[in-house]
C-alpha cells in the first residue's frame, strides 16, 4: 500500500506536485506518481521531469489529446486499474485540468480520500472548463488545501465543511523560489537573440485562441505593443495551430516579436523574471509574476486568482485591443503599484500539506494496529 498517489498530467501540474512529493518523503510518507499524459509533447512534459528533479512516473497513462469528454473518459479508464494497484491511503490531485477531475471521479467512486492541492479558486465563468473541473473536484475531496484566504470563503459559501479546508500557501511558489536563481542564470533571453528590455507574451486558453476574432485582436494588440518594446512569444502548440488555421501567419508584422517554441520551466521562468512586463492568459503566470514583482496584464475577463490583483502586480483587462494596449503602455511606464508577496507564499506549502496528511495517515494506521 502507498501512502500518497500523486496525479499530474499537464504542464502546471508538475510544478505544483514537485514540492508535495519532496515534502512527503521528509515527512516519512511513501508516494507514487501517476502521469496521465494529458500533455505529451516533450516541451510540455518531459523537460519538466528533468528540470524539477521529479522521479520517473510510477505509471504513465499516455492518454494524449481529444475532446474534453474523450480525454476525461480515457483518463478515467486508464487510472482505475492503477488506483487499485497502488491502493493509496490518499489520492493527491493538483490544479484544475481534465486529469484533476477525471482521477478525482474515479477515486471518489472507489471510496479513496482525495486531497485537492489548490482548492477553492473561483472565476465564476462556466465557459472555462477549468472552472467546472475545480468546483466538482472540491466537492469530492476530503482535504482541501488552499493558496489564499479568499479560497476558503468560496468553499464555505458552497457548503463545504470548514474542517476539510486548510490554508497552506502555494506549492507552485515553492518550486519558483527554489528555482529562480538557476532560471536567471540560464540567460534564456540572450539565447533567443534578445538584448535590452523586452516584454513577454503567452496565449493558450481555448476561449482566446479558438475564437478567430479574439485571437486576431490579441495578435494585433501584440503587434502594436512590439512597436514600443520587443516582445518574446513562446508559442503554445494549440495557439500555433490556430494561427495557421485562421490564416494569421501573414497578417501580422512579426518583425519585433521573437517567436519561439514552448519553453522548459527554467527557461520560461528566467524570461519572466527579467521581463519588463508580461501579457498572459495563464493563471500560473499571474502568480509567478506577483512573486517576482513583474507587472502582469491578464488577457481574460476574470481571474480565479484575485489575490494577485489585491496584493500583487496583476491587472485583468479582458481581450479588447484598446484595453490591452492601454494596460501594456501603463505597465511599460511602470504606473502600476508595487506588488507584495501574498500570505504563506513562502516556499513551505508542500511541507504543510505533507505534515497534515502524515498526521492523518499515521493516526489511521495507529488506530488500525490497535484494533488488530
pLDDT at 45: 58
pLDDT score, position 44: 52
pLDDT tens by residue, 220-230: 999 999 999 99
Rg for the chain, CA atoms, rounded: 20
Catalytic residue chosen out of the listed positions 35, 116, 204, 236 = 204
pLDDT at residue 291, rounded to an integer:
97
pLDDT at 9: 85
Question: In whole angstroms, how far apart are CA 252 and each of 122, 206, 262, 267?
Answer: 34, 20, 20, 26
Which cell numbers hold the place of 10?
499537464
Once rounded to an integer, what is the mean pLDDT over residues 166-175? 98
**pLDDT score at 368:** 64
**358 pLDDT tier (thresholds 50, 70, 90):** very high
Residue 209, all three cell numbers: 485562441
Angle subtended at Cα 342 by Cα 336 and Cα 348, rounded to the nearest 5 degrees: 145
Residue in 30, 24, 47 with CA at minimum distance from that of residue 174: 24
Beta strand pairing status for 143-146 and 114-119?
parallel
> Is 204 labeled as catalytic in the residue annotation?
yes
Identify which of 236, 206, 60, 218 has the alpha carbon closest to the alpha carbon of residue 130: 206
Q: Where in the chain is the domain with CATH 3.40.50.2000?
A: 4-169+348-371, 178-332
Predicted local distance difference test score (pLDDT) of residue 12: 82
| HSE toward the beta carbon, residue 135, CA cutoff 13 A | 15
Work out the pLDDT band at 51, boundaries 50, 70, 90.
Answer: confident
> By the 8 A CB rule, do 76 and 106 touch?
yes
Name the band, by pLDDT with cuts 50, 70 and 90, for residue 62.
Answer: confident
Its pTM stands at 0.95
CA distance 207 to 205: 6
- In whole angstroms, what is the distance from residue 238 CA to residue 224 CA? 23
Give the pLDDT band of residue 140 (cuts 50, 70, 90).
very high
Report the CATH superfamily, name and number, of domain 178-332.
Glycogen Phosphorylase B; (3.40.50.2000)
Enumerate residues 6+ apart whose C-beta is below 8 A from 106: 76, 79, 80, 83
- Decide if domain 4-169+348-371 falls under CATH 3.40.50.2000: yes
- 330-341 b/e (C-beta count within 10 Å ≥ 16 → b): bbbeeebeebeb
Q: Mean pLDDT over all residues of the chain?
A: 94
pLDDT in tens, 8-45: 988 888 899 999 999 999 999 999 999 998 655 555 55
The predicted model gives 290-311 an average pLDDT of 97
The pLDDT value given to residue 220: 97
According to the model, what pLDDT value does residue 337 have? Answer: 79
The segment with the largest mean pLDDT, out of 35-44, 45-54, 55-64, is: 55-64
Distances in Å between the Cα of 61 and the Cα atoms of 6, 18, 37, 127 are 13, 19, 6, 27
Q: Is the pLDDT of residue 297 over 70?
A: yes
Q: pLDDT tens digits for 89-139?
A: 999 999 999 999 999 999 999 999 999 999 999 999 999 999 999 999 999
Distance of CA 55 to the CA centre of its chain: 19
Amino acid at each position: 500500500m502507498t501512502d500518497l498517489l500523486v496525479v499530474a498530467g499537464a504542464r502546471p501540474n508538475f510544478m505544483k506536485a514537485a514540492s508535495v512529493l519532496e515534502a512527503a518523503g521528509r515527512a516519512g510518507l511513501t508516494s507514487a506518481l501517476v502521469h496521465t499524459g494529458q500533455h505529451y509533447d516533450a516541451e510540455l512534459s518531459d523537460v519538466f521531469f528533468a528540470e524539477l528533479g521529479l522521479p520517473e512516473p510510477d505509471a504513465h497513462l499516455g492518454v494524449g489529446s481529444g475532446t474534453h469528454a474523450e480525454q476525461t473518459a480515457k483518463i478515467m479508464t486508464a487510472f482505475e486499474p492503477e488506483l487499485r494497484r497502488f491502493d493509496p491511503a490518499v489520492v493527491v490531485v493538483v490544479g484544475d485540468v481534465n486529469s484533476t477531475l477525471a482521477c478525482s471521479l474515479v477515486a471518489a467512486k472507489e471510496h479513496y480520500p482525495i486531497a485537492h492541492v489548490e482548492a477553492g479558486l473561483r472565476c465564476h465563468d462556466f465557459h472555462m472548463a477549468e472552472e467546472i473541473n475545480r468546483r466538482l473536484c472540491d466537492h469530492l475531496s476530503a482535504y482541501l488545501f488552499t493558496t489564499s484566504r479568499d479560497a476558503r470563503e468560496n468553499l464555505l459559501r458552497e457548503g463545504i465543511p470548514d474542517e476539510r479546508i486548510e490554508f497552506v500557501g502555494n506549492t507552485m511558489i515553492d518550486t519558483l523560489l527554489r528555482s529562480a536563481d538557476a532560471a536567471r542564470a540560464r540567460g534564456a533571453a540572450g539565447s533567443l537573440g534578445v538584448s535590452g528590455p523586452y516584454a513577454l507574451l503567452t496565449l493558450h486558453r481555448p476561449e482566446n485562441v479558438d475564437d478567430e476574432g479574439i485571437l486576431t485582436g490579441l495578435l494585433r494588440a501584440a503587434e502594436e505593443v512590439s512597436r514600443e518594446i520587443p516582445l518574446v512569444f513562446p508559442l503554445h502548440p494549440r495557439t500555433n495551430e490556430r494561427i495557421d488555421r485562421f490564416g494569421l501567419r501573414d497578417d501580422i508584422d512579426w518583425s519585433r516579436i521573437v517567436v519561439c517554441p514552448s519553453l522548459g520551466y527554467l527557461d520560461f521562468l528566467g524570461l519572466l523574471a527579467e521581463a519588463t512586463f508580461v501579457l498572459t492568459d495563464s493563471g500560473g503566470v499571474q502568480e509567478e509574476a506577483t512573486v517576482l514583482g513583474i507587472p502582469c496584464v491578464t488577457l481574460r475577463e476574470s481571474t480565479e486568482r484575485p489575490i494577485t490583483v489585491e496584493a500583487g502586480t496583476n491587472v485583468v483587462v479582458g481581450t479588447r485591443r484598446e484595453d490591452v494596449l492601454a494596460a501594456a503602455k501603463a505597465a511599460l511606464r511602470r504606473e502600476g503599484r508595487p506588488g507584495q508577496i501574498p500570505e504563506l507564499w513562502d516556499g513551505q506549502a508542500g511541507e504543510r500539506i505533507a505534515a497534515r496528511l502524515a498526521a492523518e495517515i499515521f493516526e489511521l494506521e495507529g488506530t488500525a494496529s490497535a484494533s488488530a
